[in-house]
Amino acid sequence: MIHEPPAGALRDPDHFRTIVMERGEPAIMRGAARDWAMLADRTAPGENLAGVIDQFRRFDAGRLAEVFVGKPEIAARYNYDASMAGFNFDRSMIRFDDALTQILASASEPDRPSMYMGSLAAETYFPGIEETTRLPFVPVAVRPRFWIGHPSTVACHYDTMDNVACVAVGRRRFTLFPPDAIEDLYVGPIDHTLAGQPISLAVGSEPGDPRYPKFAQARDRALVVELDPGDALYIPKLWWHQVEALSEVNVLVNFWWDGFATGPDQPYTAMLMSMLAIAERPPAEREAWRAWFDHYVFRPDGHPLSFLPVEQHGVLGAQSKDNYARIRTLVMRLLRGG
């Protein structure tokens, strides 16, 4: 069951961060975007395509957009090809309005290639449209991105940012797995990906597939939710999610940001550095470093200097700008070999 927060949690970014984001679990917000201008022009529930298209064309900056194009035989499931050396779709750079026209014109054609545009940043493709897609619980500085296309299945992946996804046109199905399912999802390469993030090779496979025996442990942990126009879903960072667009034409609007950043440095960067420095060391030494990471980073037993007065915590004190800068300066000096 996916959590549905109380209305008060959606009042502003601070309430949303405290009541929703700190839980570290997905949350569904039915009707959160129903007041958007692009959703207002409809004669019946769900019939809002014309209003959304009008908004896109009003703000269109005339840029080229990357379009995924899949032959009918892939059934709009964007993935690797059989060799995993390439992909089962093609990429084309097409002027946005031309691509949009092709998607609309071919939507109801049988056996047509599938088309899909993803992660179109508002400031690049539709400057000004962000004023029409505000959510009171998303920080004002966070700009939306747009995902437009035919029915499709985007392979199960994670993001390193917190995500609020809003359906504008069509219907979407999200299948989610918690971060600790990673061992059972058979995650593909991190440097040869479909669109930036590694994907699960097992999600979507048939039960009993001999290639993915451990996936049986994760299959029953899946959370599945379907969203209608105006609905929104919060997906915490590192939660796995497969996204299915179910209608002839589909538009998703999403917002990415790190709700808990204390500076410019990202946890994923720290993980990559740890892979370089620790992953290939002997098992006994890796276990020793695990104890250090637990003590100083993950802190299952609380603050490592809790037995001392706060004024004696030094750089391990609360992450003030001064402490952050001192640690960062030390890290940069060590990276330079100083």
Q: What is the pLDDT of residue 105?
A: 96
Nearest-angstrom CA–CA distance, 241 and 154: 9
Report DSSP state, residue 251. E
199-233: buried (b, 16+ CB within 10 Å) or exposed (e) per residue? bbbbbbeeeeeeebeebeebeeebbebebebbbbb
Nearest-angstrom CA–CA distance, 236 and 23: 9
Nearest-angstrom CA–CA distance, 3 and 20: 9
Beta-sheet pairing, 152-157 with 77-78: parallel
Q: What is the pLDDT of residue 195?
A: 86
Residue carrying the six token digits 């989610």? 176
Q: What is the pLDDT of residue 41?
A: 59
Distance (Å) of CA 225 to CA 1, 3, 62, 200, 202: 9, 11, 35, 19, 19
* DSSP bridge partners of 242: 175
Q: What is the pLDDT of residue 47?
A: 61
Q: What is the pLDDT of residue 227?
A: 97
* CB of 204 closer than 8 Å to CB of 115: no
Nearest-angstrom CA–CA distance, 71 and 217: 33
Mean pLDDT by 10 residues, the chain (338 residues): 93 97 97 90 63 95 97 94 93 97 95 95 97 96 97 96 97 98 96 91 95 95 96 98 96 97 90 95 97 96 92 83 86 85
What phi and psi, each to the nearest 5 degrees, are found at residue 50? Answer: -60, -40
